Amino acid sequence: METGMPPFAEQDSATHSAAPPAGHSQDDTLLVLPDALAKVLGDNRALPSLPASVMQIVALAESPDANLQDFTAAIERDPALTLRILGLANSVFHAYDTPAETCQEAITRLGIDATLSVALGFGLASQQQFRARGLDLSYFWQRALISALTSYTLARQLALPSPGRAFTLGLLQDIGMLALDACLRRGYAALLSSVDDHAALSAAEHKAWGCDHALVGAWLAQRWGLPKQLVSGIANSHLPLDQVLIGQRCVNAAGPLAEAWLDCSAADNHAATDDMPLTDMLRELVPTLGIDEDALIELLCGLQETLPPTAELMHISCPPEFDATRTLLEAKQQLHAHHLKLSQQLLNQRLEIERLRLRQADLTQRVSHDPLTGLFNRAHLEALLEQHFREALDQGNELSLVFIDLDYFKQLNDQHGHRLGDEVLKGFAGLLRELLSHDILGGRYGGEEFVLFLPGAGAEAAMRLAETLQQRMASRTLAVTVDHNAIRVSASMGVVSLVDSDFVNAEDLIQAADQAMYIAKRAGRGRIARYCDGVEEEPQQDSV
Ligand SMILES: Nc1nc2c(ncn2[C@@H]2O[C@H](COP(=O)(O)OP(=O)(O)OP(=O)(O)O)[C@@H](O)[C@H]2O)c(=O)[nH]1
pLDDT at 277: 65
**In what helix (H) or strand (E) does residue 452 lie, and over which residues does it extend?**
strand 449-455
pLDDT digits (tens, 9 = 90+) for 284-343: 788 888 888 788 888 888 888 888 888 887 778 887 776 767 777 777 777 777 777 888
Residue 167 forms part of a structural domain: no
How far apart, in whole angstroms, are the C-alpha atoms of residue 529 and residue 494?
5
Domain boundary among 69, 94, 129: 129
Q: Which residues of 11-42 are buried (b: 16+ CB within 10 A; e: fewer)?
A: ebeebbeebeeeeeebeeeebebeeebeebbe
Residue 173 forms part of a structural domain: no
Residue 433 forms part of a structural domain: yes
How far apart, in whole angstroms, are the C-alpha atoms of residue 409 and residue 423?
12
Domain boundary among 112, 129, 146: 129
Mean pLDDT over 137-156 rounds to 90
pLDDT at 161: 85
Mean pLDDT over 195-215 rounds to 93
* Helix 79-89, helix 112-125: angle, nearest 10: 130
Q: Is 417 in the pocket of ligand 1 (CB under 6 A)?
A: no
Residue 346 forms part of a structural domain: no
Residue 259 forms part of a structural domain: no
Overall domain count for the chain: 2
Catalytic residue, from 62, 259, 382, 448: name it. Answer: 448
Domain boundary among 129, 159, 189: 129
Residue 435 forms part of a structural domain: yes
pLDDT at 542: 44
Domain that holds residue 427: 378-536
pLDDT digits (tens, 9 = 90+) for 333-373: 777 777 778 888 888 898 899 999 999 998 988 899 999 99
Q: Are 53 and 74 in contact (CB under 8 A)?
A: yes
Question: What does the H/E/C string look like for 175-205?
Answer: HHHHHHHHHHCHHHHHHHHCCCCHHHHHHHH
Residue 75 forms part of a structural domain: yes
pLDDT at 6: 35
Read off the pLDDT band of 538 (50, 70, 90).
Answer: low
Q: What is the pTM of this model?
A: 0.57
Q: Is 372 in the pocket of ligand 1 (CB under 6 A)?
A: yes
How far apart, in whole angstroms, are the C-alpha atoms of residue 501 and residue 462?
16
Kindly provide the ipTM of the predicted complex, given to two decimals.
0.98
The backbone torsions φ and ψ at residue 442, rounded to the nearest 5 degrees and listed phi first, read 180, 180
CATH code for position 448? 3.30.70.270
Q: State the distance from the centre of ligand 1 to the C-alpha of 300, rounded, in angstroms.
A: 81
Q: How many CB atoms lie within 10 A of CB 344?
A: 10
Nearest to 501 by CA among 456, 453, 535: 535
Q: Is 227 in the pocket of ligand 1 (CB under 6 A)?
A: no
Residue 73 forms part of a structural domain: yes
* Ligand 1 atom index nearest CA of 413: 1
Q: Are 145 and 46 in contact (CB under 8 A)?
A: no
How far apart, in whole angstroms, are the C-alpha atoms of residue 210 and residue 99?
51
How far apart, in whole angstroms, are the C-alpha atoms of residue 513 and residue 451?
9
The backbone torsions φ and ψ at residue 451, rounded to the nearest 5 degrees and listed phi first, read -135, 140
Better-predicted residue by pLDDT, 170 or 66: 170
Contacts of 114 by beta carbon, 8 Å cutoff, 6+ apart:
6, 7, 8, 9, 10, 12, 164, 167
**In what helix (H) or strand (E) does residue 503 lie, and over which residues does it extend?**
none
Contacts of 29 by beta carbon, 8 Å cutoff, 6+ apart:
228, 231, 232
Told to judge if 448 belongs to the known catalytic residues of this protein, a careful annotator would answer yes
Q: Are 530 and 537 in contact (CB under 8 A)?
A: yes
% residues pLDDT > 70 (the chain): 87
- Give the residue, by CA position, lying nearest to ligand 1 atom 6: 447
